[in-house]
Amino acid sequence: MDNVLGYAGKRVIVTGCFSGMGEATARLLLDLGAEVHGMDYKACALPLASFNTVDLRDPASIDAGVANIGGKIDALFNCAGLPNAFPAMDVMKVNFLGLRHLTEAVLPLMGKGGAIASIASTGGLGWSRRVPANMEFVTTKGWDAGMAWCEANMDTVGEGYAFSKENVIVWTQFMGAHLIKKGIRINCTLPSPTQTPMMASFQATSGKEVIDAAAEPMGRYSTATEQAGGLVLLNSALASIINGVVLPVDGGFMGGLATGQVDISKMMRRAAPAEA
């Protein structure tokens, strides 16, 4: 039972491994005996099998990073992301278009038993109210078509973060039914607010009261290590039948929301404008 999660000797890729949830995921996978290949915009200090500097805003950079790794890949962890403090199109590129492009580049390296886990967000919970727009976007073919759709629909894209995360959710569910025919699973997580280097940016742009409301009923922010556990579980051998799932990793937030124990009105408020 020492290798119950099935990672010993497996080749995996982790994006966003410099810090936060990506770094915690890579660290946990190393502890479990995986051969971990990292990708990020900034260098990672962990003892990885390889590290490639990749800019998820640039498809050529993504392709080069995947080509440098090569060989069979058993699992992909899409952990890289940007908060809404960045320009909307940069957020869209990193959080969805780059994630999709990288996944599509890795898929030919995967065989039966392969698994993909991505980080979405409770910020993307509005997906169910605009599935037609989400589906129109996630089914665009390739980087250029995705960019063109965004540029023609900037009112829908908005600040980028919520829409990008909605699309991670919808695309995960859509692709689950397709990839499972090849024996490959794909899932994503919905983290509760997590204490990472991006938290200050989230509080500044959304308001601390809004972020804190999303941390109920647990009453605290999760840790990057706790979030890594959910991702690692989804791509593990124990989860071999779990596919196309949007998994809350939130200390009970979704359950509290569904049963009226979380005040959703707080989350609908915007941060008050700063005084001049």
Give the CATH number of the domain where residue 127 resides. 3.40.50.720
- pLDDT tens digit string along 36-72? 999 999 999 999 999 999 999 999 999 999 999 999 9
Active site residue 161: yes
274 in a structural domain: no
3 in a structural domain: no
65 in a structural domain: yes
276 in a structural domain: no
162 in a structural domain: yes
Q: Which domain holds residue 187?
A: 11-268
pLDDT of residue 197 exceeding 90, the answer is: no
Does this model's pTM top 0.85? My answer is yes
- pLDDT tens digit string along 206-235? 566 666 666 667 777 789 999 999 999 999
pLDDT of residue 97 exceeding 50, the answer is: yes
Q: How confident is the model at residue 124 (pLDDT cuts 50, 70, 90)?
A: confident
Query: Could you give the number of structural domains in the chain?
Result: 1
113 in a structural domain: yes
pLDDT of residue 273 exceeding 60, the answer is: no
2 in a structural domain: no
- Average pLDDT, integer, range 250-264: 82
pLDDT at 262: 80
Please indicate whether residue 110 or residue 125 has the higher confidence score (pLDDT): 110
| Percent of the chain residues past pLDDT 70, beyond the cut | 87
pLDDT at 167: 97
Active-site choice (7, 41, 161, 221): 161
Task: For the chain, give the secondary structure using H, E and C.
Answer: CCCCCCCCCCEEEEECCCCHHHHHHHHHHHHCCCEEEEEECCCCCCCCCEEEECCCCCHHHHHHHHHHHCCCCCEEEECCCCCCCCCHHHHHHHHHHHHHHHHHHHHHHCCCCCEEEEECCHHHHHHHHCHHHHHHHHCCCHHHHHHHHHHHCHHHHCCCHHHHHHHHHHHHHHHHHHHHHHCCEEEEEEECCEECCCHHHHHHHHCHHHHHHCCCCCCCCEEHHHHHHHHHHHCCHHHCCCCCCEEEECCCHHHHHHCCCCCHHHHHCCCCCCCC
pLDDT at 202: 57
